[in-house]
Amino acid sequence: MEESEVGYDSLHRFSLGSPCLSFDIVRDDLGLVRSTFPHTVFCVAGTQATEASSNFIGIFKLSNILGKTSDANAEASDTDSDSSQVPSLQLCKVFHKGVVNRIRAMSQYPHICASWADTGYVQVWDLSSHLNALAESTDTVCNDAIAASNQDPLVKFKHEDEGYALDWSSIEPGRLVSGDSKNFIHLWEPTGATWNIDSNPFVWHTASVEDLQVSTI
């Protein structure tokens, strides 16, 4: 199947080097309403590498995202060869033990991210140093050839089985829910610099928990 570029205002292709099962957009300070190209966006993604030891969390910045309007202007001004107008990806990596089934960034504190691993662990990470480096850079300070850094998660919790369901509360900063393939759902409550994870799961669900959404009420 081939996409039709007619249906897109903007279409670009980027690669982290390995396939990813999950990604999330990281909130930034560049403004809520951005309608003029080129755009910049920060994201996190988790890999599904062939070798378990090669998996990582990718923290990346996409810059100079051009659209139809900006492309037309670029042609009119004959600046296609200007490197500043070339879409770019800047990437930092954090080693992740096992495949990343799902990853989610907290909306209130976007440098805090949670990941679900196929090893059965849910982990919470502080990615502030990587996001700050990307925000302050104008060059490709991180690329796909760079080695993944070893970083300890802020906290990790072992479920009965692996899972995919993961969501942060948009109302209560730091509140997290995670659900596994057995049927267990655990509630994470923030307590200072860590989390209190209820060891008694919600068990009303009777099958694999594929997705979760924390109520906004």
User: What CATH number is associated with residue 69?
Assistant: 2.130.10.10
pLDDT at 147: 80
Residues 156, 124: contact at Cβ < 8 Å?
A: yes
Q: Report if residue 20 sits inside a domain.
A: yes
Question: Which residues have C-beta within 8 Å of that of residue 80, sequence separation ≥ 6?
Answer: 74
Q: What is the pTM of this model?
A: 0.88
Structurally, how many domains does the chain consist of? 1
Range of the domain at 141: 5-197
Task: Give me the pLDDT at residue 75, please.
Answer: 53
| 118 within domain boundaries | yes
- Pairing between β-strand 20-26 and β-strand 39-47 as defined by DSSP bridges: antiparallel
Grouped pLDDT means (10 residues each) for the chain, 217 residues: 79 91 96 89 96 95 84 50 74 96 97 98 98 82 70 97 97 96 96 93 90 85
What pLDDT score does 196 carry?
Answer: 97
Which pLDDT score, from 0 to 100, does residue 79 have?
Answer: 47
* 211 part of a folded domain: no
Q: Is 207 within a domain?
A: no
Task: Identify whether 178 is part of a domain.
Answer: yes
Closest CA to 124 of 186, 183, 77, 79: 186
| 210 is a domain residue | no
Tokens found for residue 121: 């662990």
User: Within a domain: residue 212?
Assistant: no
Considering the domain boundaries, does residue 216 fall inside one?
A: no
Q: What is the pLDDT of residues 129-166, one digit of tens each?
A: 999 999 987 665 455 557 889 999 999 999 999 999 99
Q: How far is CA 29 from CA 108, 133, 202, in A?
A: 12, 15, 36
Burial pattern 191-217, b for ≥16 Cβ within 10 A else e, equals eeeebebeeebeeebeeebeebeeeee
Torsional class of 183: left (φ above 0), alpha (ψ -120 to 50), beta (otherwise): left
